[in-house]
Amino acid sequence: MPKTSHLSIEHVDIALGDRSYRIAIGRGLLDAADSFAGLPAASTALIVSNTTVAPLYLARLCAALAPHYRQVHSVVLPDGEAFKTWESLNLIFDALLAKACDRKTVLFALGGGVVGDMTGFAAASYMRGVPFVQVPTTVLAQVDSSVGGKTAINHPLGKNMIGAFYQPQRVVCDLDALKTLPPRELSAGLAEVIKYGPIADMAFLDWIETNIDALMAREPAALAHAVRRSCEIKADVVGQDERESGLRAILNFGHTFGHAIEAGMGYGAWLHGEAVGCGLVMAARLSQRLGLVDEAFVERLRRLVLRAGLPVVAPVLDAADNAGRYLALMRVDKKSEAGEIKFVLIDGPGRAVVRGAPDALVAEVIAESCRA
């Protein structure tokens, strides 16, 4: 019998007019039938998960959805960033078509950022758009990738370059799912938590520094606050700029360098959050070189990233021309304009700006970061 949740639930609302939706944050939500009440009426649901998450949570989500749908199907994808591809996306379409799913079918993304991104892209594309729900099971997905409607797959030449803006109907963040998260994945998710402080809320950065050990120890109260405050900041930004025409780009702090690391090393060699963590320090260092922050700020962020169990020394991508390789990869970044790389930089603590920087200066930062 599926459970009904009577536990404390916090909500964060994404205000986007007729595309508005709610993020639910709490414990025991994945098992609770009422977590999924009130969604668009449909006879069929399709759960998309992966080979790591499905054995842990797929049967439980099926049971929670059973009161709401006559049929609950599932498709299990291979796990990892290396599989965020057309081939994996087609496995979702294959399942939808094989089960004769109609345009009212609701998709449920059960997993981390890769599953969420691919499920959202499939939902945006199947029959020109069907509803979907995010059920994120990682810190990274709960605080960032499940919120805001960015969906995509990777291309060998660039990360998340093929996709669509498509909002979910709901995001259900069950904090209990974080208990089974491997330590490396936990650290990777904390990179996306840390980024919110320098770009928007220095008081939150102070809180993270004070509570980083509690977060690493998975203390429920600390995780609940980190997820809620991260979602609040992202909700505010997305509500003002859904399609990243301006303000929303600040959420990519650390990502220009980070995406270059992922693409240059091969997707999956470093986790996304590991690359972003290192990218945060590189972007802060570039900010300092441009006179926007002082060295003490860079060192403060470097220490915090290190305490979160994340790398702070950038990898060498090309022994012959390392800076050239980084720059070439960063020119494919979605923020680039007419070949000019745009970086999210810290324009004083708690404020972010998107701007370019001289290639020579960027090359100096890359060289310094690779031998830090």
Amino acid at 334: K
- CATH of 202-370 among 2.30.40.10, 3.30.450.20, 1.10.1740.10, 1.20.1090.10: 1.20.1090.10
Which helix (H) or strand (E) is 77 found in, with range?
A: strand 71-77
Is 234 a known active-site residue?
Answer: yes
The model's pTM: 0.92
The domains of the chain are located at 9-180, 202-370
| pLDDT beneath 70: ranges in the chain | 1-7, 372
Q: Is 73 a catalytic residue?
A: no
Catalytic-role residue among 234, 285, 289, 342:
234
CB atoms within 10 A of CB 205: 22
Torsion sign, CA atoms 138, 141, 146, 147: positive
CB 38 within 8 A of CB 68: no
Strand ranges of the sheet holding 44-50, from the earlier edge strand across to the other edge: 9-14, 21-26, 170-174, 132-136, 106-111, 44-50, 71-77
CATH of 9-180, one of 3.40.50.1970, 1.10.3720.10, 3.30.300.30, 3.40.50.920: 3.40.50.1970
pLDDT of residue 233: 96
Distance of CA 176 to the CA centre of its chain: 18
Residue 128 designated active-site: yes
**248 is an active site residue:** yes
Please confirm, yes or no, whether 211 is among the known catalytic residues. Answer: no
Angstrom distance (rounded) from CA 252 to CA 346:
12
Residue type, 152: A
> What's the pLDDT at 339?
80
192: annotated active-site residue: yes
Looking at residue 104, its pLDDT comes to 97
Helix ranges, the chain (H): 54-65, 86-98, 113-125, 139-140, 183-200, 202-216, 220-240, 255-265, 272-289, 295-307, 322-330, 359-370
Q: Average pLDDT of the chain?
A: 95
Chain position carrying tokens 């029959």: 127
- Residue 208 CA to residue 27 CA, distance in Å, equals 21
Catalytic residue, candidates 84, 170, 225, 272: 272
Percentage of the chain beyond pLDDT 90 is 91
- Given a contact cutoff of 8 angstroms between Cβ atoms, the answer to whether 304 and 212 are in contact is yes
Give the type of residue at 25. Answer: I
pLDDT tens for each residue of 90-136: 999 999 999 999 999 999 999 999 999 999 999 999 999 999 999 99
Calpha distance 347→115 (Å, rounded): 34
Give the separation between CA 83 and CA 75, rounded to whole angstroms: 14
Instruction: Tell the residue number behind the tokens 């993270």, with chain if given.
Output: 208
- In the block, tokens 């310094």 appear at 368
Specify the pLDDT at position 158.
Answer: 85
User: Which structure tokens are listed for 301?
Assistant: 């962020």
Catalytic residue check, 244 = yes
Amino acid at 233: I
Burial class (CB in 10 A: 0-12, 13-18, 19+), 210: exposed
